[in-house]
């Protein structure tokens, strides 16, 4: 998920602090205005990196000792005590799965691996029908349930939080910054972000939304963001081509296959970065028509980029225009 080019201006007075580094197989970056009396930058960085390390320990699918990968390794009819954060992500995933009629699902990791996109993926290829049918027996949020502090499963399902984990981390960091008295910031992790307040010169945080191209970066739209999370999901960075068709890492869990429609990318703006993260994935899976209907029905701020013979067609929901302060 990618939101391109955070546009940051310079100003006088309070200082603009920034730092970043690796996280979740990608990178993170923090920019914030440091007013007099706020914590030293080193303490702020320590708090942020502590949160990122905790999220990684809880939900990473790329380390066998994470909470969720230990759960994924369990057989059917097993339970495991989980942190409340993990259980909350499960609840969000169930909500999005129900609202998408099963197209979005957290249990798609075996499909990701089968098609070559997951942490254990190998060759990127179209799997055989029999193999796909076998894997589909292990797909579906209905196989998960929560008992008190435990996450349980009645089939050998594997949970993949990659569609919401970064958004959750961004929200958690933003809340920690607020608690530390930092109220003007831009938090970004693996492309998911949240901005609040103003820059040092009093201007808003401005975000450039990237045109869905894999050959170069081109800003399609610039928006002002204050108090919202922003997430972009697209099919243009992680895909393979076979017999002239583009197979991306966005899966419809109902049929176990990558989506093949012409919706190239979706950007969602939402008060919660977690929900922006999940909803951008959900809408990308649904495709241009179903996604538009969903966005209008649920008042989702969505910016759609659709492939057409003449290039790209842009479509924005009414909520997106209201929330984004969008500028061409």
Q: In what order do the strands lie in the sheet with 6-7?
A: 6-7, 205-210, 219-225
What pTM did the predictor assign? 0.88
Q: Are 109 and 159 in contact (CB under 8 A)?
A: yes
Q: What is the CATH number of domain 63-153?
A: 1.10.3980.10
pLDDT of residue 246: 52
- pLDDT tens-digit series, residues 21-44: 999 888 999 999 998 888 899 999
Separation between Cα atoms, residue 245 and residue 260, nearest integer Å:
8
Report the mean per-residue pLDDT for the chain.
87
b (16+ CB within 10 A) / e for 181-215:
ebebbbbbbbbbbbbbbebbeeebbbbbbbbbeee
pLDDT of residue 1: 38
E strands present in 238-320: 239-242, 245-248, 251-252, 257-258, 263-270, 301-308, 311-316
pLDDT of residue 237: 54
- pLDDT tens-digit series, residues 184-199: 999 999 999 999 999 9
Question: 6-56+166-324, what's its fold?
Answer: T-fold (3.10.520)
Helices 273-286 and 288-297, packing angle to 10 deg: 140
Give the lowest-confidence range in 12-16, 128-132, 277-281, 292-296: 12-16
Q: Are 63 and 69 in contact (CB under 8 A)?
A: yes
SS3 category, 109:
helix
pLDDT of residue 10: 45
Q: Which residue has the tokens 């103003």?
A: 198
| Residue of 173, 128, 134 whose CA lies nearest to 155 | 134
Three-state DSSP string of 155-218: CCCCCCCCCCHHHHHHHHHHHHHHHCCCCCEEEEECCEEEEECECCCCCEEEEEEECCCCCCCC
Q: Are 294 and 300 in contact (CB under 8 A)?
A: yes
pLDDT of residue 211: 66
Q: What does the CA dihedral 9, 228, 98, 234 come to, rounded to 10 degrees?
A: -10
Strand partners, 206: 7, 224
Average pLDDT of 47-56?
97
What are the residue ranges spanned by the domains of the chain? 6-56+166-324, 63-153
Q: Is the pLDDT of residue 131 over 90?
A: no
Q: Is the pLDDT of residue 149 over 60?
A: yes
| Residue of 94, 93, 92, 103 whose CA lies nearest to 294 | 103
Q: What is the DSSP letter of 143?
A: G
């Amino acid at each position: 998920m990618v939101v391109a080019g955070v546009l940051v201006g310079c100003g006088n007075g309070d200082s603009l602090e920034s730092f970043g580094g690796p996280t979740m197989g990608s990178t993170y970056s923090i920019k914030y205005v440091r007013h007099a009396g706020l914590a030293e930058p080193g303490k702020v960085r320590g708090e942020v990196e502590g949160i990122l390390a905790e999220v990684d320990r809880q939900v990473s699918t790329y380390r066998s000792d994470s909470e969720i990968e230990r759960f994924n390794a369990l057989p059917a009819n097993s339970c495991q005590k989980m942190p409340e954060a993990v259980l909350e992500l499960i609840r969000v995933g169930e909500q999005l799965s129900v609202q998408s009629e099963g197209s979005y699902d957290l249990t798609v990791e075996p499909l990701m691996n089968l098609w070559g996109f997951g942490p254990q993926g190998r060759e990127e290829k179209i799997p055989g029908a029999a193999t796909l049918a076998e894997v589909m027996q292990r797909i579906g949020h209905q196989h998960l349930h929560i008992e008190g502090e435990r996450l349980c499963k009645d089939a050998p399902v594997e949970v993949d939080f990659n569609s919401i984990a970064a958004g959750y981390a961004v929200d958690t960091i933003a809340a920690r910054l607020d608690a530390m008295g930092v109220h003007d910031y831009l938090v970004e992790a693996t492309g998911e972000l949240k901005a609040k307040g103003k820059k040092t010169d009093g201007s808003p945080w401005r975000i450039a939304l990237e045109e869905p191209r894999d050959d170069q970066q081109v800003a399609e739209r610039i928006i002002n963001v204050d108090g919202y999370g922003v997430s972009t999901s697209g099919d243009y960075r992680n895909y393979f081509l076979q017999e002239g068709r583009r197979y991306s890492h966005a899966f419809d869990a109902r049929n176990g296959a990558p989506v093949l429609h012409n919706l190239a990318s979706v950007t969602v703006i939402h008060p919660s970065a977690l929900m922006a993260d999940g909803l951008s994935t959900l809408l990308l899976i649904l495709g241009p028509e179903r996604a538009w209907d969903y966005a209008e029905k649920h008042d989702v701020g969505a910016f759609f980029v659709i492939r057409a013979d003449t290039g790209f067609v842009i479509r924005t929901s009414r909520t997106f225009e209201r929330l984004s302060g969008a500028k061409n």
